[in-house]
Structure 1
Amino acid sequence: MKAEKINKYIEYGTTKLKVLYKEKRFKSEGYTIKYMLEKNDSDSLIVVLSGIPRQGLKARYNYGRTLSKIKANKLFILDDFGYDQRGAWYLGKNKDFKIKEATHKLIKKVKKDLNIENTIYCGSSKGGYNALMFGLEDKGSTIIAGGPQYYLGERLTNGVYPTYTLPYIMGENYNDEDIQVLNDLLPNIVKKSKENDCKIFLHYSDQEYMYDTHVRYLVKDLHDNEINFVEDVHKYKKHAEIAYHFPKFLVKSLNKILS
């Protein structure tokens, strides 16, 4: 575990340096999306969605160093929206869901510019949720997700993020119907994506709270809708420990997919 912690801090430092000369901006739908694109001689694109940092920190790019030896094009997309800049789940402000549309357009543009044949979406926790959200709507894509939320409304009202995030996404006067809209968002995408021929690599622990409240329902819906997925099940107790376990699974899965 000590080595994983050291690697995490190294990744944070190297990513901050990389941002200084690689970060670009894409304007669409009234929003400016920050991203980094690393090109390779490949017809594959890895889209990396950012997670949410602990309170007091702004959102940052994830898994740059982890993926440094992977020979594919990489698109790192930052979600630093929200009143505290920790992220808005790539959705939008005041129910407009325009950040989602703008992000879709960015991905589509990069795929067209690079003649991409194979798209892989990845992320953990919040990033895992968004990897599923974008990936399942992209026919034939592959998704590598770690410990994702599934019912977003529940996640944003359980005492972890409600102060800033939910009022930003759904408006200051959000109500129970708005919370239900967010709860239904990803399940509805899952149910509509049965014919999209996507494959999911899903990492999670069945011993941490995210499993009982979210992941087990995701697994059931994937089964019920006959969506192709493989599981990597661990036994760690704290959700935060995903940062030490998911990177290995991510690299292993990418090597298998790209080989």
Structure 2
Amino acid sequence: MKITMDDVRYQDASLALFFTVTGATEPCEFAYYVYQDNQLIEKCWYEAASKKNEIQFRPVFSGAYKIRLFVRQGEEVVFAQVSNELYIDCVAEKELEVTFPGEKIFLDDVPVKYLFQPAKKPSKHLILSFSGLYSTEFRGGAPVYNHIRTLEPVDANKLFILDSYQEQFCYYVGFGREHQFERSVVSLITTIANQCHISAENIIATGSSKGGAAALYYSLKYRYGKAIIGAPQVYIANYLNQRATSDSMRERYYRMLGDNHALGKQFWNQLILNQVAKATQFPALHFHVGKGDFHYPKHLMPLFKELDKREVTYRLDLADYTEHNQTGQYFTPFLVETVSNMI
């Protein structure tokens, strides 16, 4: 007897699993389990199998789904196999695809793609890696993860989060002065931290450029213990307005601003400084920037002025280079050295 099970598919808002039974000399029966996010949520007990069979299950809640199929002859289970896993957004009624080895999708209010690398040895730290903004993204290209190879020698729990909301960047916040994506990102971080029994004070937010802005914002707002920040944008709207030199980039920039462009600009330009103004405690802040990079006078010096008013201590690594696109080259060793000293 031969049992052939196809990959589970998502069609017409339902999971569909096809399998065939050939060469059976005795009647067969099949049963199946449905798993959501690796948890068993439904059992369907044995019923008669034919040569061609179809299992259908309509998910109600978004999540990662798979089906375990059992086939038996008499009392003997002759087949037990788990299907492939599908990420289903039940609100949008669509399947979400992963595109990077080890990538997963956290499904909360909105989907968040991420990579999680647990520590090899027991660790009380969680490193967050927020991604920068690549020129290809201005033309509609896919976002990318940052510092996976850079942080490879660092033995700690590492969470790499992709800034991809409705097929574009949003600085890990959202569009039109709303925080849809941010809420899901925070939920992801909290879920991972709780699973690893890691407190907020042992979360280390990292990133450069756009990722640096996100690391600074999240560490201030959610009281993470430490932040390692490379050449961040503080006046985000001003920066994007300068970069919006094409129709595709302006489209993405205006989407972030929302319908009221004037209020949108105020929101993005004040996003980080508003957190500085109202914070009651501050993370350990470690900054890096090139002395000739325009981010130093245009973004960081005004930020430092506000931090000084609040009597906040911070560390500044001022490197000898002039172009913002050199940040990655110089920030990388600074990141590894700083995070290694922290853990």
Tell me if both proteins adopt one fold, taking TM over 0.5 as the criterion: yes
Shift of 1:96: 2.4
Aligned with residue 99 of structure 1, among 181, 186, 198: 181
Partner of 1:181: 267
C-alpha separation in 2, matches of 1:170 and 1:197: 28
C-alpha separation in 2, matches of 1:54 and 1:233: 25
Which structure: larger Rg?
A: 2
Instruction: Describe the shift of the 1:252–1:19 C-alpha distance in structure 2 as closer, same or farther (beyond 3 A).
Output: farther
Partner of 2:129: 48
Contact 1:207 1:236 in 2 (8 A): yes
Partner of 1:12: none
C-alpha separation in 1, matches of 2:342 and 2:319: 21
Tell me if 1:89 matches 2:171: yes
C-alpha separation in 1, matches of 2:299 and 2:166: 23
Which protein has the bigger helix share? 1
C-alpha separation in 1, matches of 2:211 and 2:224: 20
Partner of 1:229: 314
1:3-34 per-residue CA deviation (whole Å, 9 max, x = no partner) reads xxxxxxxxxxxxxxx964311111122x1000
Partner of 1:111: 193
Partner of 2:112: 33
Partner of 1:257: 342
Aligned with residue 250 of structure 2, among 163, 166, 186: 163
Partner of 1:64: 148
Query: Identity over aligned residues, as a percent?
Result: 28
Aligned CA-pair RMSD: 1.8
- The residue correspondences of 1:180-199 to structure 2 (distance < 5 A) are 180-193=266-279, 195-199=280-284
1:36-69 per-residue CA deviation (whole Å, 9 max, x = no partner) reads 1000121100000011111343210000000001
Shift of 1:237: 1.1
Contact 1:138 1:196 in 2 (8 A): no
Shift of 1:82: 5.5
Gaps of 5+ in 2: 1-97
Aligned residue-pair number = 236
Partner of 2:84: none
Amino acid paired to 1:217: P
C-alpha separation in 2, matches of 1:169 and 1:159: 14
Aligned with residue 23 of structure 1, among 103, 106, 123: 103
Gaps of 5+ in 1: 1-17
- The residue correspondences of 1:115-126 to structure 2 (distance < 5 A) are 115-117=197-199, 118-126=202-210
